[in-house]
Amino acid sequence: MTNDVLKAIHYRRTVNQNSFTDQDISKEDLLTILEAANAAPTHKRTQPWRFVVFQKDGLTRLGAELSRIYKTITPAEKYSEATEVNMGKKATTANVAIAIVVNYTGDLPEWEELAATSCAVQNLWLAAHSIGIGGYWATPGMINHLGEFLGLEPNQKCVGLFYLGHHESEPREPVRSSIEEKVRWEQ
Ligand SMILES: Cc1cc2nc3c(=O)[nH]c(=O)nc-3n(C[C@H](O)[C@H](O)[C@H](O)COP(=O)(O)O)c2cc1C
């Protein structure tokens, strides 16, 4: 790996609640991570990414809401109390959760706004990794029911929760099939 950017891209990993420690993520680190997200590319500079940052009691409220939604939307035959509890725990055992929101402007095809937001999330993920903070993008079905809780506008959609924490996980190589299977060279 020849430089720090390539190293970060290669070694960024999904780090989940099992590896998180209790150490608080500082406001300074959170701003570093959010500024990196804000540097993402965007067609027509619509900058469609929006974030709602949950910490402390906010995580408890988020966890309770995820559990409540799970209970509400899950058919009785599929419902499990353990899953309901676990949904809440995902939030309360992270140090920070960031709701990822796309703000659809109508100026571009929706896929472009989602693509730009995804670029922002990758920036966020790489920046966190680069300062020793782990995390991952979680997309449980409940995110489709978070609009009121998050106070979203009709043109906004939550596309995930990014859970973050200082952690104890070891660096791991990416598990990927060869790039050669995904590229056709034309000369
Ligand atoms: C759009 C998107 C949605 C994802 N949703 C989830 C999820 O709901 N739960 C989860 O554990 N991981 C989720 N992930 C993380 C992927 O599982 C993870 O990136 C993949 O296994 C590759 O591992 P790596 O991040 O360590 O390279 C998501 C990743 C992306 C890009």
In this predicted model, what pLDDT tens digit does every residue of 81-134 receive, in sequence order?
Answer: 999 999 999 999 999 999 999 999 999 999 999 999 999 999 999 999 999 999
**Distance, CA of 16 to CA of 20 (rounded, Å):** 7
Q: What is the dihedral of CA 111, 70, 53, 134, to 10 degrees?
A: -80
The pick from 122, 136, 158, 170 for probing ligand 1's pocket by mutation, whose C-beta has the most ligand atoms within 8 angstroms, reads 136
1 has a pLDDT exceeding 80: no
Predicted TM-score (pTM) above 0.75: yes
What CATH number was assigned to the domain covering residues 12-167?
3.40.109.10
Percentage of the chain with pLDDT > 70?
Answer: 99
pLDDT recorded at residue 2? 83
pLDDT recorded at residue 166? 98
In this predicted model, what pLDDT tens digit does every residue of 32-86 receive, in sequence order?
Answer: 999 999 999 999 999 999 999 999 999 999 999 999 999 999 999 999 999 999 9
User: Is 12 annotated as contributing to ligand binding?
Assistant: yes
Q: How far from chain centre, in Å, is Cα 99?
A: 7
User: Is 137 annotated as contributing to ligand binding?
Assistant: yes
**Distance, CA of 67 to CA of 74 (rounded, Å):** 11
